Structure 1
Amino acid sequence: SLPNIADKSLVYHQYDYMVRTDTVVTPGSDAAVLRVKGTKKGLALTCDCNAYYCYLDPYEGGKQAVAEAARNIVVSGATPLAITDCLNFGNPEKNEVIYQFAKCIEGMAEAAEYFKIPVVSGNVSFYNESKNKAVLPTPVVGMVGLMEDILKHTTQSFKKQGDLVILIGENTEELGGSEYLKNVHKIRYGKPPKVDLKKEKMVQDFCLKAIELGLLRSAHDVSEGGLAVALAECAITGGFGFKGEIYTSLREDAVLFGEAQSRIIVSIDEKEFSTFKRLAEEEGIIYQVLGFVDKDDFEFTVKNSRVKKISLGLDEISYIWRNSLKWALEK
């Protein structure tokens, strides 16, 4: 129900996103996808930034904005191509603001250089303050990617009951900067999750290769809200439930709601698992089978020294997710 997580269709349904009838994937998944008429090619587009991460650690927040934008392009089936940015900050005459600005740019530049994605345009907006209080540092990253065959595009939605659901990447105990820590425990300090650019690139390259080979039925990156929320988004938008369990030595709230980077949830036909496993081993990718796509229920059990179980109906979580932003605006 949190505004940063809840369905945003109330906003984007006010705009025409079918101009020239080129839109193949409409808003609501990780990236929009447009066809290039007269060719098999497509373009994926996304905008990303976690301003709260940038407030807690501008350098890591800047890196994360680029990494997540690239991840959203990749899970749609496209190769990241170019970046534009919109850098929004407070009064640069204040030391803390110009520090945020400089460090965000350093982090963005490091990630862009590592991924070899050029920044081709952008703009800077300073003095964004009200009652002498600055906005959170918000370096928004817009990214475009290219797919050679638009028929191979992927979305976040679960597609078929019985499909295996797999996590690519590794869970950690990083809870700093998370929606869970900020909104449930009212803790607004700490370090946001770090981005290991090498691991990030490996996960993205593997996901893109699996999509190109036709192994994946869905792909969705883990971001705000953590693993449990990302699974719920896949279920809600696909109209399917989920049943699964995970064995871990980590604390259960970190597994469920921590926002560790470089993680992607995918679903595959069970018959493709041996091929998926072989490819992951060849590429040195850490993965974990989480469960399977179900019909109606959303159930997820974490087993460490204790057992934590989430058990909800798909209709219940869908109703909350789809209506919470409208309810908040009506208050």
Structure 2
Amino acid sequence: MTLDTVKHAAETPDVKLPWAELGLKEDEYARVREILGRRPTGAELAMYSVMWSEHCSYKSSKVHLKQFGEKVPENDAMLVGIGENAGVVDVGQGYAVTFKVESHNHPSYVEPYQGAATGVGGIVRDIIAMGARPVAVVDPLRMGDAHHPDTKRVLPGVVAGIGGYGNCLGLPNIGGELVFDACYQGNPLVNAGAIGVMRHEDIHLAKASGPGNKVILYGARTGGDGIGGASILASETFDDSKPSKRPAVQVGDPFQEKLLIECTLEAFAEKLVVGIQDLGAAGLSCATSELASNGSGGMRVELDDVPLRDSTLTPEEILMSESQERMCAVVEPEKVERFLAICEKWDVIATVVGEVTDGDRLEIFWHGEQIVDVDPRTVAHDGPVYERPYARPSWQDALQADDANKLARPANAAELREQVLKLVAAPNQAAKSWVTDQYDRFVQGNTVLAQPEDSGMIRINEETGLGVAIATDGNGRFAKLDPYTGAQLALAESYRNVAASGAKPLAISDCLNFGSPEDPDVMWQFAEAIRGLADGCLELGTPVTGGNVSLYNQTGEAAIHPTPVVAVLGVIDDVARRTPIAFEEEGQLLYLLGDTREEFGGSAWSQVVHGHLGGLPPKVDLAREKLLAEILISASRDGMIDAAHDLSDGGLVQAVTESCLRGGKGARLVVPDGLDAFTFLFSESAGRAVVSVPRSEELRFTDMCGARGLPVTRVGVVDGEALDVQGEFTLPLSELRTAHEETIPGLFA
């Protein structure tokens, strides 16, 4: 068989290539031919197909994502923004923190354990590539119906994969979510986030500069697993009629990744690296084209020198493979020997596979013949850009008119009590310790807060107590009712969670999970969510450091709810001043901050009691969210509150239940004037929190709220061994604990 070289491609313009099978559209293939002035070689076609996939090129989302750069100004904390492997923010004392959230949705449905495990591995390598030591991971998850048989296949595998990989790396899992909804049945969402810490001077970028500098591939050998992987899997809808995609799922080795982390950090410490890129989606195609296009010259690569696990791999397969635990570094010639010595010390395979040239082409050779000759920018950055048609769905008005506020409410105190028990025991509101107990949340000894706290918190300086907090949130039900408002509610909830723990919100990363961009309804949802998020970040002053778009989360005609997941990172000067959620001191006063309205659209109550989704989501007041955050942070710093819990999914009764059970103390609640017991307990109005205040601090705290104009209402006291809503019902903590904690183990243990 003749090797398909650049010369051969120029001489055989009519050779048929499998562009459609590799996911390219006819006009995209025509564009590749136009760029090259000839037909591509098989290797070039492989590179363009993975790099121009939806997952890698963002071809349907770019036109909307640019709002983040245009609308939202960077604040003083921003050190590296959108466009790099991960964003970086200044957290003070010479420290910088990098963080990002990405999706590994499709691979995790096909092969739950490896899909989730390699999602963790991939996001951790993004953090390493910035020059940081990874310090924690988070895992926002969305699964199908909790009672569906396939959920029992997917969830345990995903949790085992996340725990297995993260635990082996020695990284605490400090946050995340688990949400069940039938809309995710065929498209579960496995989003993975990571945080890394470095000094300002240690930031590294993905660029190949300096002619003569060597390109070193190091880490695991390249194998046949993950060929096409996330880049192809996540760029089309699932269809039962197509062949199994199981071979496309990557296989992870966390012990190899741990060696890779230590090896890389030692090379950074010795200033051996000019540029670096991890090999994730699109593998070597991505690493070579992005390094070359971001640098000042070209690149020549000898593909024969790539260490292989399978000697039968073709050049195309080597370029498309997404085998895990691999990175690509650009190193000056005189430092190569030392770099290779460090790799050998850590038992990491490292091979010089090429060098930076003074040209402007990415040239790849196989068996002495040139098989790739491209402008790297055309591969990495100049892919197609689509302005997909979008329009408000014809069903949107009817959905919003189906008002949840008109649903039948409990007729008496007994029904109210029964509905409280039903709510706290529902899979979405029930305790998730069956999941989180499979993760090591406290390894490394710097975890300050972890699930089920409002945000995860990590200490990054033992001497000063400097720490960072992170929360991830997203409510697909709210976004289905109104994607603009739903995206802002996700931002507001995550922002509020960080502030409730005492940390000051600094910046966000996002993971935007939607259905097929070829559906105008879905594209309208996406466009509205981006607009909402950009407007919200502008008002809150939280720049977007980067993120991820996951489209085609759709089976046939059935798309998931639009699910923008927002991660907010915050900083706290001294982790000793953090605020937990637990009520622990008898006699402390309970105060409700914010306004409570009759807002039940998309609420947990409407879902659990009535199986209903309709109406409008709660209103958003971002100025109020900022004020609430400032009050929570000040009260935490100055010792005015001992516990705080944001009010969101499930309303006040859910928050108080969690705080009571966390601290082992009951609460007596009094329904405030002007509210009925039902609205008081179940409303999901935004911009609210419940706090426990020592009696000695009551006057100082209420004066501060009054002076700042934040509504504050005394609603009870920490007391006894029951949740007692006076004049309505009493629920012993033992009964609440059984209801809240036995649901998930009963379904999945």
* Same fold, TM-score > 0.5, yes or no: yes
- What is the Cα deviation at residue 168 of structure 1? 0.8
For each residue in 1:276-314, what CA deviation from the matched residue of structure 2 results, as whole angstroms up to 9, or x when unmatched?
Answer: 12111111111110110012011113xxxxx6x131000
User: What is residue 25 of structure 1 aligned with on the other side?
Assistant: 449
C-alpha distance 131-94 of structure 1, shift in aligned 2 (>3 A): closer
Moved more, 247-256 or 45-54: 247-256
- What is the Cα deviation at residue 153 of structure 1? 0.5
Residue of structure 1 aligned with 2:743, choices 319, 324, 330 = 324
User: What is residue 34 of structure 1 aligned with on the other side?
Assistant: 458
Large movers: runs of 4+ above 6 Å: none
Residue of structure 1 aligned with 2:629, choices 193, 204, 212 = 204
Tell me how far apart the structure 2 counterparts of residues 323 and 131 of structure 1 sit (CA, whole Å). 35
Partner AA of 2:677 in structure 1: E
Q: Structure 1-normalised TM-score? A: 0.95
- What is the Cα deviation at residue 85 of structure 1? 0.8
Q: Which runs of 5+ in 2 are unaligned?
A: 1-424
Tell me how far apart the structure 2 counterparts of residues 77 and 245 of structure 1 sit (CA, whole Å). 27
Tell me how far apart the structure 2 counterparts of residues 131 and 8 of structure 1 sit (CA, whole Å). 31
- Contact 2:515-2:559 at 8 Å conserved across structures: yes
For each residue in 1:191-226, what CA deviation from the matched residue of structure 2 results, as whole angstroms up to 9, or x when unmatched?
Answer: 010111111211111111111111000000001111
For each residue in 1:241-288, what CA deviation from the matched residue of structure 2 results, as whole angstroms up to 9, or x when unmatched?
Answer: 001202333343222101000111000111211111211111111111
SS at match of 1:295: coil
SS at match of 1:188: coil
User: What is residue 653 of structure 2 aligned with on the other side?
Assistant: 228
User: What is residue 730 of structure 2 aligned with on the other side?
Assistant: 311
- What is the Cα deviation at residue 34 of structure 1? 0.5
Identity of aligned residues (%): 37
Residue of structure 2 aligned with 1:101, choices 496, 508, 526 = 526
User: What is residue 487 of structure 2 aligned with on the other side?
Assistant: 62
Tell me how far apart the structure 2 counterparts of residues 261 and 123 of structure 1 sit (CA, whole Å). 26
Match runs of 1:103-142 below 5 Å: 103-142=528-567
- Contact 2:672-2:715 at 8 Å conserved across structures: no
For each residue in 1:16-52, what CA deviation from the matched residue of structure 2 results, as whole angstroms up to 9, or x when unmatched?
Answer: 2223221111221101110013432011111100111
Residue of structure 1 aligned with 2:470, choices 45, 51, 62 = 45
Tell me how far apart the structure 2 counterparts of residues 258 and 26 of structure 1 sit (CA, whole Å). 26
- Contact 2:593-2:688 at 8 Å conserved across structures: yes
Whether 1:173 aligns to 2:598 is yes
SS at match of 2:600: coil
Moved more, 5-14 or 262-271: 5-14
- What is the Cα deviation at residue 132 of structure 1? 2.8
Whether 1:144 aligns to 2:566 is no
SS at match of 2:667: strand
User: What is residue 153 of structure 1 aligned with on the other side?
Assistant: 578
Moved more, 194-203 or 73-82: 194-203
Whether 1:280 aligns to 2:705 is yes
C-alpha distance 95-310 of structure 1, shift in aligned 2 (>3 A): farther
- Contact 1:173-1:251 at 8 Å conserved across structures: no
For each residue in 1:124-146, what CA deviation from the matched residue of structure 2 results, as whole angstroms up to 9, or x when unmatched?
Answer: 01001124311111111112110
SS at match of 1:317: helix
SS at match of 1:247: coil
Whether 1:248 aligns to 2:667 is no
Give me the CA root mean square deviation: 1.3
Tell me how far apart the structure 1 counterparts of residues 557 and 650 of structure 2 sit (CA, whole Å). 31
C-alpha distance 167-181 of structure 1, shift in aligned 2 (>3 A): same
User: What is residue 194 of structure 1 aligned with on the other side?
Assistant: 619
User: What is residue 10 of structure 1 aligned with on the other side?
Assistant: 434
Tell me how far apart the structure 1 counterparts of residues 643 and 681 of structure 2 sit (CA, whole Å). 20
- What is the Cα deviation at residue 233 of structure 1? 1.0
Tell me how far apart the structure 2 counterparts of residues 11 and 59 of structure 1 sit (CA, whole Å). 31
Aligned length in residues? 324
Partner AA of 1:188 in structure 2: L
Q: Structure 2-normalised TM-score? A: 0.42
Tell me how far apart the structure 1 counterparts of residues 577 and 540 of structure 2 sit (CA, whole Å). 22
Tell me how far apart the structure 1 counterparts of residues 624 and 588 of structure 2 sit (CA, whole Å). 26
SS at match of 1:77: coil
- Contact 2:516-2:551 at 8 Å conserved across structures: yes
For each residue in 1:153-186, what CA deviation from the matched residue of structure 2 results, as whole angstroms up to 9, or x when unmatched?
Answer: 0111102011001101111111111111122123
Moved more, 34-43 or 97-106: 34-43
Instruction: Compare the two structures and name the one with the higher strand fraction.
Output: 1
- Contact 1:30-1:156 at 8 Å conserved across structures: yes
Moved more, 122-131 or 234-243: 122-131
User: What is residue 163 of structure 1 aligned with on the other side?
Assistant: 588
User: What is residue 260 of structure 1 aligned with on the other side?
Assistant: 685
- Contact 1:22-1:37 at 8 Å conserved across structures: no
User: Highest CA radius of gyration, 1 or 2?
Assistant: 2
Tell me how far apart the structure 1 counterparts of residues 729 and 549 of structure 2 sit (CA, whole Å). 43
User: What is residue 304 of structure 1 aligned with on the other side?
Assistant: none
Partner AA of 2:532 in structure 1: G
- Contact 1:160-1:293 at 8 Å conserved across structures: yes
Tell me how far apart the structure 2 counterparts of residues 250 and 268 of structure 1 sit (CA, whole Å). 22
Partner AA of 2:746 in structure 1: W
Tell me how far apart the structure 1 counterparts of residues 482 and 432 of structure 2 sit (CA, whole Å). 27
Tell me how far apart the structure 2 counterparts of residues 295 and 247 of structure 1 sit (CA, whole Å). 21
- Contact 2:652-2:683 at 8 Å conserved across structures: yes
For each residue in 1:101-141, what CA deviation from the matched residue of structure 2 results, as whole angstroms up to 9, or x when unmatched?
Answer: 11111111111111111110101010011243111111111
